[in-house]
Amino acid sequence: MNLIEIINSNFKGILGISGFGGSGKSTLAHKIAEFTDAPVIGIDSFFKHTDFGNCNNWDCVDFLRLKTEIIAPFRNGISPIKFREFDWENNSVGKLNEISHKGLIIIEGVGLFGSLIQSSITKSIWIDCPIEIAIARGKERDKSQYGVDNDVLWEGVWKQNDLESFEKYHPMEVANIIIDYKDLM
């Protein structure tokens, strides 16, 4: 099943979209959501903390909480699903959020294909984007959209985590669909 078939069909399950930070995961997820009416759950809602000095291979993401709060209820046919989003300002799990679905959810974020949730993903997409281009895009987005300069994180721990995950888990071999980042422009 390719991307067009997912969009045009009555595909049910969990669609996982991963790639390096800045590669276009969120953009693609929201484009697919427009056509499928599926909710998008971003990995950024499931961080454990912002102490990135103690983060290797994206272990600062709480994949267990994602599995417990999103995937398990989804697999049990529960809708709406209630979960807590990470509060970046307070560096803790924050407000309660609720999503409804019609049998399809989209989970997008870094490190999905080597994580605790990989086996729960029905179909997976990898955004193929060179790391340096992804980092440049991420830096620009953070500055223009959020007014935040995260250049040190992009060039440091985030790049390190992306490369560790890529080298350890070989996402281009795991993903069902590979999409070139240039096709998202």
> Three-state SS for 148?
coil
- Region 25-37: mean pLDDT is 93
Greater model confidence, 26 or 184: 26
> DSSP class of residue 162?
H
Q: What is the mean pLDDT of the chain?
A: 92
Q: Could you report the per-residue pLDDT of 65-114, keeping only the tens digit for each?
A: 999 999 999 999 999 999 999 998 898 999 899 999 999 999 999 999 98
- Residue 168 tokens read as 């350890």
Cα–Cα nearest to 127, from 52, 20, 51: 20
b/e sequence 133-170, b meaning 16+ C-beta within 10 Å: ebbebbbebbeeeeeeebeebbeebbbebbebbbeebe
Determine the pLDDT at residue 11: 84
Q: Which helix (H) or strand (E) holds 128?
A: strand 123-128
Q: Do residues 117 and 173 touch, judged by C-beta distance below 8 A?
A: no
Q: What percent of the chain has pLDDT over 90?
A: 79
For residue 72, the model assigns a pLDDT of 97
pLDDT at 145: 94
Could you tell me the pLDDT band of residue 1, with boundaries at 50, 70 and 90? low
Which is more confident, 20 or 59? 20
Residue 145: what residue type?
Q
Is 3.40.50.970 the CATH classification of the domain at 3-184? no
137's tokens: 């895009």
pLDDT of residue 51: 81
Position 177 pLDDT exceeds 60 = yes
The side-by-side arrangement of strands in the sheet containing 123-128 is 40-42, 104-108, 13-19, 123-128, 177-180
pLDDT digits (tens, 9 = 90+) for 117-149: 999 999 999 999 999 999 999 999 999 999 999
pTM score, whole prediction: 0.94
Report helix, strand or coil for 107: strand
**What pLDDT does 9 receive?**
72
pLDDT tens digits for range 163-173: 999 999 999 99
